[in-house]
Amino acid sequence: MADPNAAKAVRTTIDTARGILNGVNYPNLSNVRKKAHNDAKLLLQQAEDALKEGNLAFAQGVANKAETLAKELAGR
């Protein structure tokens, strides 16, 4: 059985990263930064899928990468 606290931590990271990404003004980004934005969204989808499969270590890893990218895009 997956650790519910670990799953909750992954969910929190995903939600945080998604919230930051949603605050980024996509049309104003350069093409390079648009690609990074799209990459972050792809990472979030991978994290969601891994979470559903119970692969928490992978889910947390890609969620962290997505959050880092999102923060860079948001200038945080």
The predicted model scores a pTM of 0.91
Q: How many domains does the chain have?
A: 1
User: Does residue 13 lie within any of the structural domains?
Assistant: no
CB contact set of 20 (below 8 Å; sequence gap of 6+): 67, 70, 71, 73, 74, 76
Residue-number span of the structural domain to which 49 is assigned: 30-76
User: Does residue 9 lie within any of the structural domains?
Assistant: no
Q: What is the per-residue burial (b if ≥16 Cβ within 10 Å, else e) of 32-62?
A: eeeebbeebbebbebbbebbeeebbebbbbb
In which residue are the tokens 């934005």 written? 37
pLDDT band for position 2 (cuts 50, 70, 90): low
Query: In this predicted model, what pLDDT tens digit does every residue of 12-56 receive, in sequence order?
Result: 999 999 999 999 999 999 999 999 999 999 999 999 999 999 999
